Chains A and B, each alone.
Chain A
């Protein structure tokens, strides 16, 4: 499987190169047009990116994640989520780098093969930084009101977390 993942990009690039060689249309011009629109897109995202990264950085530096974990622990205990992974869990939707750092810390303190490390790994593999994605995507679309996106996304993450904690026990 990892062979497919590592080979897929070279394969696509080769196919594109073949197309460029043998197609009669002016594909290089198409590429330039696309690339230029890509630059404009990324530049327009930069302000939102600044806000998002600063907010995420403040959140992790202030220890808000830990306080949130303390507040949530009675509820999560009912759901079968071990309290040790709560700090990692609260940061996960907010910052990818901080959550990776916390995951590494969990591995150090609880080994990567024990229940806690395993469950945290499964959660990390099946979730993503919701906050960052919502901010960037809504900025690209030019919308200010994301309606039910945030609650729905958080609910899904909660669901996968509970599921991960439940089935991790079976796989260790």
Chain B
């Protein structure tokens, strides 16, 4: 999927550059992309190491187990397979909690570890399992309590009231979250039904 998406985007970009006449912007863009990847990796390494280390401590002390038990009804709804087998469920609990608390840079490493664990349930298959898709999509449309980046941008632009967007953002992100959960569960059920009929 990544290969196909990359290929489609490259061809699309080349064609569009021909249309808009910006073909000489393409080569610098590639180099900008590689250096951006390095920037992202650099920050990712640091915070991934820190939070994965903390995750291990939380596992060892049983703190994460307490958290998972606290939100277990939610976890059972979102990640039925992982709840049954226990693979990656603590990391999922940590990731969801981190997202809610607004520490996005902890949520990502937790989610990445969760996915690695979930692959064990998946028998190493090349297709993503339903739980994996659920975790990915709720990370992409989380319940956003404090959208700092946007508020900061609004402040810099001289907004009269940068935080006026809070209530609409809450409404939209909660609705988006609910829609995501409904969509994923429905599609997962449809796919499972199709597989049974085969």
Residues of chain A whose beta carbon lies under 8 Å from any beta carbon of chain B: 1-2, 4-5, 8-9, 12, 16, 19-20, 23, 25, 27, 30-39, 41-43, 45-46, 48-64, 66-67, 97, 100, 103-104, 107-108, 111-113, 117-118, 121-131, 133-150, 152-153, 155-157, 159-160, 163-164, 167-168, 171
Q: Which B residue's beta carbon lies closest to that of A155?
A: B183
Q: Is the beta-carbon distance between B5 and A103 smaller than 8 angstroms?
A: no
Q: Is the beta-carbon distance between B172 and A164 smaller than 8 angstroms?
A: yes
Q: Shortest CB–CB separation between residue A4 and chain B, in angstroms?
A: 7
Stretch at the interface among B34-42, B68-76, B78-86: B34-42
**Distance of A36 Cα from B106 Cα, bound (Å):** 16
Binary A-proximity of B41-58 (CB < 8 A = 1, otherwise 0)? 100110011111111110
Neighbour of B103 across the interface among A8, A23, A121, CB < 8 A: A8
Q: Which residues of A sit under 8 angstroms from B128, Cβ to Cβ?
A: 138, 141, 143, 145-147, 149
Q: Which residues of B sit under 8 angstroms from A12, Cβ to Cβ?
A: 54
Q: Which residues of A sit under 8 angstroms from B127, Cβ to Cβ?
A: 143-145, 147
21 contacts between A and B (CB under 8 A): A2-B146, A5-B145, A5-B146, A34-B54, A35-B50, A41-B112, A45-B44, A62-B25, A97-B36, A113-B161, A121-B153, A125-B165, A125-B169, A133-B140, A135-B5, A142-B124, A143-B127, A152-B137, A152-B187, A155-B183, A159-B179
Q: Which residues of B sit under 8 angstroms from A157, Cβ to Cβ?
A: 141, 176
Q: Shortest CB–CB separation between residue B33 and chain A, in angstroms?
A: 3
Instruction: Given A39-B45, A107-B154, A160-B176, decide whether A57 and B112 contact each other with a Cβ distance below 8 A.
Output: no
Check: B89 CB closer than 8 A to any chain A CB: no
Dominant SS at the A interface?
Answer: helix
Q: Shortest CB–CB separation between residue B62 and chain A, in angstroms?
A: 10
Neighbour of A156 across the interface among B41, B102, B179, CB < 8 A: B179
Q: Is the beta-carbon distance between B147 and A133 smaller than 8 angstroms?
A: no
Instruction: Given A38-B53, A41-B52, A137-B111, decide whether A64 and B61 contact each other with a Cβ distance below 8 A.
Output: no
Residue of A20, A38, A39, A42 contacting most chain B CB atoms (<10 Å): A38
**Distance of A112 Cα from B82 Cα, bound (Å):** 43
Q: Which residues of A sit under 8 angstroms from B118, Cβ to Cβ?
A: 141
Q: Is the beta-carbon distance between A42 and B20 smaller than 8 angstroms?
A: no
Q: Which residues of A sit under 8 angstroms from B136, Cβ to Cβ?
A: 133-134, 137-138, 146, 149, 153
Q: Is the beta-carbon distance between A53 and B37 smaller than 8 angstroms?
A: yes
Q: Is the beta-carbon distance between A135 and B132 smaller than 8 angstroms?
A: no
Q: Is the beta-carbon distance between A148 and B33 smaller than 8 angstroms?
A: no
Interface residues of B in 11-28 (CB under 8 A from A): 12-14, 16-17, 19-20, 22, 25-26, 28
Q: Which A residue's beta carbon lies closest to that of B149?
A: A100
Instruction: Given A53-B33, A146-B133, decide whether A171 and B167 contact each other with a Cβ distance below 8 A.
Output: yes
Q: Which A residue's beta carbon lies closest to that of B32?
A: A57
Q: Is the beta-carbon distance between A41 and B157 smaller than 8 angstroms?
A: no
Q: Which B residue's beta carbon lies closest to that of A93?
A: B140
Neighbour of B34 across the interface among A34, A42, A53, CB < 8 A: A53
Interface residues of B in 68-119 (CB under 8 A from A): 101-103, 106, 108-109, 111-113, 115-116, 118-119
**Distance of A142 Cα from B122 Cα, bound (Å):** 10
